[in-house]
Amino acid sequence: MPHAEPLLLELFGIFVCAKVFGEVFEQLRLPAVVGEILAGIILGPYATKFVNPGATTLSIAGLGAIFLLFTVGLETSPQELIRVGSTSLRVSLAGVLAPFVLGFAYLRGVRGDPSHEAIFVAAAMVATSVGIAARVMGDLRVLHTRVARIILGAAVADDILGMIVLAVVAGLGSGAGVQWAQLIVLFLEAVAFTLFMVFFGSRVIHKMQPGVERLSTQNAPLILALALCLGLSVAAERIGMAAIIGAFFAGLAFAEYSGEWQLAPRVSAINEFLAPFFFFTMGSRLDLHVFDARVIVACVVVTVLALTAKVVACGAPVLREGWLNALKVGVGMTPRGEVALIVALVGLQMKMMSQAAYGIVIFMTGATTLIAPPILRYLFRQDKPEAAA
């Protein structure tokens, strides 16, 4: 459309730059997502000023975040969660608690940050990104090993715990301090929402299945899934959570039908189109001027805490399977990803987080994502790869 040209040019520029950086990172055997964020940092308004994402682009990036979490939800089968058993659950729970407590203690106790900011940064340290570890183990063809299954199972549980943590911290609202009564209400609300979606969401879809398949609309299951994704995003915000939590639970409800209805490849196509705008704008929001000596120290400390907390806490529950396996599980759980970024974005938008704290989270996310793959490759070097399918 004639008047939309600046928008199209902006979208084209962002899409191509993000993907070129992503490809360069992939060629260097580094995660593409870090490249896409770096594209935003380098080309964004705080550095070379090549692209300054406008309001519409930021809205499209927000839709990207929603579809990112919708995709994560679609890949998080509640049935699988029930199957993975107690080992994965223990790994996950320990791996959520340890970095949160350590992160909060350091930021509030040592650095003296305000509670709400310390809580947001600590929350960003919680959730493992299943994608990075899965990709590395997939490349090494060791997804069949018991350790890989524990990691993937724990990462599934981790996503759900991460969502509960985000629901609680995002629900703290714009209040100056932490109100414990409100916190407890939000926690119960988030847990109830989770349990409802895990146990009933899937059943509701199951009951609707014959009806959906009778509809005349083409691709009715996909349309229904998209409508629920948008609807639960709105609903989540209405009850004081972040929109993406609703999108995640919408994905969860459809996870069992993702294969049958071919939802995963279709939704991931929407994701392929929208996600680069999310990662790029995450980078473009990073003000490089905040990195003074004190913030750089905090970046390094938070990253070290984020790494050691996961390695120790996630490794400990599987120590009886040998220290090498424990180390593999621990390292496999260290990469943070989209959930950390979204916690940071929500914090920044709610003004619960300073630019410096935002910088710390971006640094920690990028660093944990970059450090884990080479270590994982080293630890798995003696596992026999599964025969190619």
Binding site for a copy of itself (CB under 8 A): 1-5, 7-9, 11-12, 15-16, 19, 22-23, 26-27, 32, 55-56, 59-60, 62-63, 65-66, 170, 215-219, 222-223, 226-227, 230-231, 233-234, 237-238, 242-244, 262, 265-270, 272-273, 345-346, 349-350
When the beta carbons of 65 and 302 are compared against a copy of itself, the nearer one is: 65
Backbone angles phi, psi at 128, to 5 degrees: -70, 145
| Integer Cα distance of 58 and 354 in angstroms | 19
Q: Is residue 27 a contact partner of residue 268, using CB atoms and an 8 Å limit? A: no
- Host H or E run for residue 92: helix 85-104
CB of 261 to a copy of itself, least distance (A): 12
CB of 218 to a copy of itself, least distance (A): 8
When the beta carbons of 231 and 374 are compared against a copy of itself, the nearer one is: 231
The DSSP 8-state label assigned to residue 113 in this structure reads -
Cα→Cα distances 92→75, 161, 178, 292, Å: 17, 8, 25, 34
CB of 183 to a copy of itself, least distance (A): 18
When the beta carbons of 160 and 228 are compared against a copy of itself, the nearer one is: 228
**How crowded is residue 47: how many other Cβ atoms within 10 Å of its Cβ?**
15
CB of 59 to a copy of itself, least distance (A): 5
CB of 16 to a copy of itself, least distance (A): 5
Lookup result for tokens 């996950």: 92
Q: Partners of 128 in the beta sheet?
A: 336
Burial of 343 (0-12, 13-18, 19+ CB in 10 A): buried
When the beta carbons of 27 and 179 are compared against a copy of itself, the nearer one is: 27
CB of 259 to a copy of itself, least distance (A): 15
Token pair of 41, please? 């940092």
DSSP string, 219-245: THHHHHHHHHHHHHHHHHHHTTS-HHH
When the beta carbons of 119 and 154 are compared against a copy of itself, the nearer one is: 119
CB of 255 to a copy of itself, least distance (A): 17
Cα→Cα distances 64→1, 34, 170, Å: 22, 16, 19
Q: Which of 64, 104, 124 is nearest to 280 (CA)?
A: 64
When the beta carbons of 105 and 227 are compared against a copy of itself, the nearer one is: 227
* Residue 330 half-sphere exposure toward CB, CA atoms < 13 A: 23
When the beta carbons of 107 and 243 are compared against a copy of itself, the nearer one is: 243
Q: Is residue 196 a contact partner of residue 244, using CB atoms and an 8 Å limit? A: no
Q: Is residue 362 a contact partner of residue 282, using CB atoms and an 8 Å limit? A: yes
CB of 203 to a copy of itself, least distance (A): 22
When the beta carbons of 38 and 305 are compared against a copy of itself, the nearer one is: 38
